[in-house]
Amino acid sequence: MNKKIFVEEFMVAIDSKDISEVRVGVSMPTLPELEYIHNPKENLEGKLEYYNKAYNEDMELEVFNGIKIVSIEALHPEGEFW
């Protein structure tokens, strides 16, 4: 995943009335499975600002590039991801 795609997807979620949450998948070298961060609608603008500052163009954490965002999913209010 690259930052351009990530930001575009995040902006769709911010602008949509049909999305209640964004789930971000993060890979870490010491963990066998992805970690998921759940961002509620009310936090999306602030979280996008954080992700823009903290992650490089390849969505690797600036201070430790072993941590990387690899997926983004939007959650409908009914509880289904798409």
Q: How far apart are CA 51 and CA 48, in angstroms?
A: 5
Say which DSSP state 16 is in. Answer: -
In a domain, 21, yes or no: yes
Domain that holds residue 38: 3-75
In a domain, 64, yes or no: yes
In a domain, 81, yes or no: no
pLDDT tens per residue across span 4-39? 999 999 999 999 999 999 999 999 999 999 999 999
In a domain, 82, yes or no: no
Q: How far apart are CA 52 and CA 69, in angstroms?
A: 12
pLDDT at 81: 56
Supply the pTM of this predicted model. Answer: 0.88
* Mean pLDDT to the nearest integer, 28-55: 97
State whether the Cα torsion 46-3-19-23 is positive or negative: negative
